[in-house]
Structure 1
Amino acid sequence: MARVNVIIPAYNEEHSIGKVVADIPEFVTDVIVVNNNSSDRTAETASQAGATVLHEPKPGYGHACMKGITYAAAKPAETRPDIIVFLDGDFSDYPQEMDLLLKPIVDGTADMVIGSRVLGKREAGSLLPQQLFGNWLATKLLRLLYGVKYTDLGPFRAIKLDTLLKLNMQDRTYGWTVEMQAKAAKQNMRSVEVPVSYRKRIGVSKVSGTIKGTVLAGYKIIFTIFRYM
């Protein structure tokens, strides 16, 4: 059985992070919550739920993800994970569906699997209009410029650890997910999408929930797509 670690970037998610950790399947060998400069009890709640808690004071989704990757990759050979799964800490993803993401990798047909909220069942209002438009535009550009067909830049994704390290991820903020997909395309890595369920998050999104966050994220995503072309 492949060893699986989960990395959950979390910023002020004290009301949801415990629920997320509790729903992680038992076969996961380490649930790594990266507390990304939270001002609430995110870290304490995650620890009480049984997660390994790391602290990344530099704000940014990519900063938090890299903290978790560095920690996982440095483990001794006997505990080092084969696969990394990323998901959000706001309880919008369904950790119980992790098998759907892992199956193509375990079967040897993919190196990376993206959970598509667009193809899956989603609760009404869980994806805001600006998110749907942003996904459409970004995936359209990925198809035109990189020749890969995606429907989503979903945060719920699985990837082989060694594959992930080969991508040499650089973005530390909003461009993290699209950088991974663009670089995987450039390196001809085997990637697929699977439909996943999605629900309204607990609390307000720090990105799509504000005009500033939406504009900055949109700019960074488009910039990243052209940067790696």
Structure 2
Amino acid sequence: MVRVTDSITPRADVVLPCLDEAAALPWVLERIPDGWRAIVVDNGSTDGSATIARAHGATVVHEPRRGFGAACHAGLLAADADVVCFCDCDASLDPGLLPGFVRSVEEGGADLVLGRRRPQERGAWPLHARLGNIALARMLRRRTGLALHDLGPLRAARRAPLLGLDLTDRRSGYPLEMVVRAADAGWRIEERDVPYRPRTGTSKVTGTWRGTWHAVRDMRTVLREPATTTAANSRTRAAR
């Protein structure tokens, strides 16, 4: 059953990057708020994820170039709602929490809302992945001055300003690049606690030390980049 959305919450598109998430997709898609559009970006799945997504009413976009950022950006380009949300497709995060994120953006409380993951069960967040996230959050605070604790994938912002950030990373650095460029542009960034559960299936990024190392490497590359000219000069907040 699709979760019913508060009638005062505007419609939004939810981008769901997907690589072999057949087991998790039904739970995730059933929790998309009523009236919203789920955009499942198939990043080369071989387990029938795209077919399952369509059967549950999602719009399916195929992105042949592998990479978390490639999938996220393809979904952003396919979106047409004023506000776009992002959520992992592995059932570790509940997209049913997103109406609160969207209301904060729509009401002018924030330009970008991020979910701070709070593990609910043992094993929800492997130690190596958590340590990598802590290190990156510290580097992010030094780079931007923002008191953020997490680079969680559950987030919401307006589509047009997101596109205006000119994000270029197409690997694991995409979520961090979004935050860094938004900070450089003077966006108000809000962090909200969200429950974090053990994922369904095997992680393609942070499920192993090797995957975590690659993700941290990609993100450190983003942090070493100087502020973009567009972001540094415009200092323009997301349109409200």
Fold agreement, TM-score > 0.5: yes
Structure 1 residues 52-201: aligned runs within 5 Å: 52-72=59-79, 80-117=80-117, 120=118, 122-201=120-199
TM-score by length of 2: 0.87
Q: CA deviation at 1:100?
A: 2.7
Q: CA deviation at 1:122?
A: 2.6
Residues matched between the structures, number? 219
CA distance in 1, matches of 2:125, 2:12: 28
Which residue in 2 is equivalent to 1:207? 205
Q: CA deviation at 1:121?
A: 5.4
Letter in 1 for 2:61: L
SS of the residue 1:154 aligns to: coil
1:44 pairs, out of 46, 51, 67, with: 51
Letter in 1 for 2:87: L
SS of the residue 1:196 aligns to: strand
Cα deviation per residue 1:25-59 (whole Å; 9 max; x = unaligned)? 1031x110000011111000111111001111111
Which residue in 1 is equivalent to 2:33? 25
SS of the residue 1:195 aligns to: strand
TM superposition outliers: structure 1 runs of 4+ over 4 Å: none
Structure 2, gaps ≥5 residues long:
1-8, 228-240
Does the CA contact (< 8 Å) of 2:172 and 2:219 recur in 1? yes
Alignment root-mean-square deviation, CA = 1.3
Structure 1, gaps ≥5 residues long:
73-79
Which residue in 2 is equivalent to 1:11? 19
Indicate the percent of aligned positions where both proteins have the same amino acid.
36
SS of the residue 1:197 aligns to: strand
After superposing the two structures, state which structure 1 stretch, 9-18 or 202-211, moved more: 202-211
TM-score by length of 1: 0.91
CA distance in 1, matches of 2:163, 2:110: 16
Which residue in 2 is equivalent to 1:76? none
Which residue in 2 is equivalent to 1:77? none
SS of the residue 1:32 aligns to: strand
CA distance in 1, matches of 2:189, 2:14: 19
Letter in 2 for 1:34: V
Cα deviation per residue 1:44-76 (whole Å; 9 max; x = unaligned)? 01111110011111110111111111112xxxx
